[in-house]
Amino acid sequence: MIWGGSPAEIVKSAERGEVHIVASMEKVGEISDVLAYPRLERLYSVAGVSRRDLLEAVLRVARLVEVDVSVDAVDRDPSDDKFIECALAGGAGYVVSGDRDLLELGRYRGVRVVRVGEFLELLGHSPP
């Protein structure tokens, strides 16, 4: 792993087999879009890492799932439903996000929505 920060700790945990990451192709596309934000791009480019490097790191550890469920969970931003749908399709217990609308949801059909730092604490890790 050539990058750092709290999200990288989750990927490292997946590489060690401590957690399992599920993703859909739609989620991978959204991750790619978020990594294109200028603020984030500046952060990882300073570390000498490209957006492609980061996506490849996630794809190495993620299990791609076919989303076959549709939910109406996030009232304020229905486009965020795709994260809950992916979690349900993949049997995940958590959605890890910084998105305010998802975080306000808190829990849906047994899937908890938590921030990166909270998830690391649940794993017994201290956020970097």
Residue 128 lies in a domain: no
In this model, does residue 2 exceed pLDDT 50? no
If one counts the domains in the chain, the total is 1
**Residue range of the domain that includes 46:** 6-122
- Is residue 127 assigned to a domain? no
Question: What pLDDT does residue 103 have?
Answer: 97
* pLDDT (0 to 100) of residue 65: 96
Can you read off the two tokens belonging to residue 18? 């401590």
**pLDDT of res. 106:** 95
pLDDT of residue 119: 95
pLDDT in tens, 54-101: 888 888 999 999 999 999 999 999 999 999 999 999 999 999 999 999
Among candidate residues 85, 87, 66, the one with its CA nearest the CA of residue 20: 87
**Inside any domain, residue 51:** yes
Residues for the chain: how many in total? 128
In a domain, 84, yes or no: yes
SS3 29: helix
Domain assignment of residue 77, yes or no: yes
Higher pLDDT, 96 or 36: 96
CATH value at residue 79: 3.40.50
| 99: number of Cβ within 10 Å | 16
Q: Residue 1 pLDDT > 50, yes or no?
A: no
Distance in angstroms (rounded) separating the CA atoms of residues 73 and 81: 6
| For range 33-45, the mean pLDDT | 83
Residues 105-112 have a mean pLDDT of 97
pLDDT above 90 as % of the chain: 57
| Any domain includes 1 | no
